[in-house]
Amino acid sequence: MLYKSLLKPVLFRMQPEDAHHFTMNAMKLGAKIPGALPLMNAMYGVPAHDALATNLWGIHFPNPVGLAAGLDKDAVAIPGFSSIGFGFIEVGTVTPVAQPGNDKPRLFRLPEDLALVNRMGFNNKGAEAMRATLEQTTKRTIPIAVNIGKNKITPNERAEEDYRKCVRALYAYADLFVVNISSPNTPNLRSLQHGEELKRLLAAVMDERDILGNMEKERKGTEPKPVLVKIAPDLTDGELEQVTETIMGSGVSGIIATNTTISRDGLTNVNAKETGGLSGKPLTARSTEVVRKLYSLTEGALPIVGSGGIFTAQDAYDRIRAGASLVEVYTALIYEGPGINRKLNRGLLELLERDGFTRLSQAVGADHK
């Protein structure tokens, strides 16, 4: 209630990107003020519950609700976001070299549609800056996924070099990696989802992961870190089959479905005319459909993270029953506030109990059984 009655009206009077920077600065500041993080946790944290805990790829996720990439682009507010109930955080997208992104304005609200349009363009401070930040973030309570991409000026035929550089710079500090080939805001990036380009890219990323992972395994006895691929919701059924086949053959650990969409079906707000990726409620049905198809195509063999349009516990549960082992939110946090995590997790517990499940993992892919 505090967010919707006090903070949201103030933030929504700001330009969207100004509100974003205000929020990020507040989350960073929270980590520096004595007592602020425990207070945030008391207000918005999610109590641990065995039924919601998930173990994937040798990593423990205290609950299934994560923060999607795009909000904490430079990994500067991990302690703050960790204190408000997320089960994991996806930071980035990070590129090898810092870049400013696309021209402003580049972020737009569609309140009537519970949506956002962004054409940010991978604005970030670069892999070395993120490395320095993560090196200082010593007290971690939840897993950190690092979303990696290529610089705008890097041609697709050299894209694999950029992804390798990101893995190399950040391997010691990530719990898992996400290969972003599905943002609509970097020219030609989405073409990396197809054919030989995707095969070469994933082979390069996995080779770099294996080189670094085997070196770390010799020192620490740990297994190589998981690599996931983030795909677009706009793939046709045929394209989705081809992408899935390539991903399955690459040895990657999982899929995130989905990124933002270029579709504008059914929107009412005037900002629907803006170019960029659409996130939020209009993506709910399509993202769930993609998760369901992926689970069927992979026969449940590859863990899926469901992202896109999750606003309610039922949205999250539908994604889980369709085949997702974890889910992510972004736009719902903007519209609903930090209380979204408690609402989703409490609702998931009720839905699991209603259907006779004692653990969330039992509900994964239940619609297929």
Name the active-site residue from 82, 83, 182, 183: 183
The two structure tokens encoding residue 199: 């095969």
Asked if 250 is an active-site residue, the reply is no
CA 222 to chain centre: 24
Number of other CB atoms surrounding residue 111 within 10 Å: 13
Measured in residues, the chain has a length of 369
Residue listed under structure tokens 């983030």: 230
Q: Are 63 and 53 in contact (CB under 8 A)?
A: yes
Q: Are 108 and 136 in contact (CB under 8 A)?
A: no
Helices (H), 47-188: 78-82, 127-136, 159-170
What backbone phi and psi angles, to 5 degrees, belong to 2? -60, -40
Reduced to 3 states, what is the DSSP secondary structure of residue 28?
helix
Which one-letter DSSP state was computed for residue 142?
A: S
As a whole number of Å, the end-to-end CA separation of the chain is: 39
Which one-letter DSSP state was computed for residue 221?
A: -
Q: How far apart are CA 108 and CA 117, in angstroms?
A: 5
**Which are the contacts of 293, defined by CB distance < 8 A and separation ≥ 6?**
237, 240
Residues labelled as active-site residues: 183
